[in-house]
Amino acid sequence: MNIIPFPARAEWPALLARPVQSTEQIEAAVAPILAQVRSGGDAALVELAKKFDKIDLESSQLQVNPDELDAAEAQLSDELKAAIRQAYQNIRLFHERQKQPVEKIETMPGVICWRKSVGIEKVGLYIPGGTAPLFSTVLMLGIPAQLAGCREVVLCTPSNHPAIYFAAKLVGVTKVFRIGGAQAIGAMAYGTESVPKVYKIFGPGNQYVTAAKMLVAKEGMAIDMPAGPSEVAVYADDSAIPAFVAADLLSQAEHGADSQVLLVSTSKKLLSSVNLTLSTQLSRLPRQEFAGKALENSKMILLDNQTDAIDLLNDYAAEHLILSIENAEEVADKIINAGSIFLGNYTPESAGDYASGTNHTLPTNGFARAYSGVSLDSFVKKITVQHITAEGLQNVGPVVEAMAEAESLEAHKRAVSLRLASLAEVNPA
């Protein structure tokens, strides 16, 4: 990776740009796929599976048979099943603690307001196929859906890896379909003869999947976030261990050629040391071709001081941010744009990807400036409730009347005035 020394702030936007294709170009390729699924249903899905995934399917084979889900467990080693179950427990515990008890607030005497959480009835989960079976994402999406009480959980994936099926059964997925790419997003957004239409779609994917999610969102479909190619930013100083830093960079780079990694430091010595071990570690990776291409889009940036580093990292708004520095917790308090933060030399990003408990479905491409990662809240709706007693209406009613009159909304005022008049008749002064 090239070291970029002391760039001027005016250069930061260009340095921090993600390696993505033109949005217009991608959407132009995806829109006809969505239209084909919307009009053609299952037949379109079969045709698109053959075209893009080179799979010959009948319409009756789109859904994975429950027996196949049951059989998946026997195809996995005891070690992997134990690991998945432990990850399940950790992720479930972290997300379970996100539940909020209903709290009734009396804003004025007799005016009581509260908010309740209700699980979204039908949700769709997308699990990419690609070059790695992301069964961990099944846990990350399925567990909060399970905790939220979503009644129907549909999973689409082009992968038939038994670990994906095992995880799907563990988290209570109701239906699994052999569908990938933009066509899977279309199937869940519009519904087909086999695939139920859902109310919200979750899950990461390549730029085409992300574009499909954005396009159906324009039509009114709720989505989790624009989660595209993975990325990591590492801020390291001389207290960091170069081999650890290099390993963290490569753990993201190996996702694919469109991934991006960024290393920021105020120490030239640290950057040089990481570069040396990076080359050695890369040569030993089975996925070195993917990682090598990702590194071509990646940068090491040398800065003058920690203030500049914090400002640059907040400008970048990384999906994953690793702080391998002496005052990591202090700096973490100053980070306002990031999907998830990892502190210290012994907190690899891969722990969050799999089993520490936090969710790994996070905003990429700078969307961490406005989006949070997936959580229990992502799978529920918040419904407000209020109850006003006779005394309460006498307290708040005049406030409402004055405001409604000022907005020239006479019917709004009258809805209160009629009630106040009836109370006055029952209880004359």
* Annotated binding residues: 126, 183, 206, 230, 252, 255, 320, 353, 407, 412
How far is residue 321's CA from residue 315's CA, in Å, rounded to a whole number? 12
Residue list for the binding site for NAD(+): 126, 183, 206
Q: Which residues are catalytic?
A: 319-320
Answer yes or no: are the C-beta atoms of 306 and 266 closer than 8 Å.
Answer: yes
Which stretches of 284-409 are DSSP H helices? 288-296, 306-316, 328-332, 349-354, 390-406
Environment class of 65 (CB within 10 Å of its CB; exposed 0-12, middle 13-18, buried 19+): exposed
Instruction: Say how many C-beta atoms besides its own lie within 10 A of residue 176's C-beta.
Output: 26
Answer yes or no: are the C-beta atoms of 181 and 158 closer than 8 Å.
Answer: yes
State both tokens at 148: 């939220």
State both tokens at 351: 């722990």
Strand partners, 341: 321
DSSP string for residues in 124-143: EEE---TTS--HHHHHHHHH
Fill in the DSSP letter of residue 74.
G
How far is residue 144's CA from residue 337's CA, in Å, rounded to a whole number? 23
Of 101, 367, 59, 333, give the one whose Cα is nearest residue 195.
59
Which stretches of 200-355 are DSSP H helices? 207-218, 242-253, 268-283, 288-296, 306-316, 328-332, 349-354
Answer yes or no: are the C-beta atoms of 249 and 263 closer than 8 Å.
Answer: yes
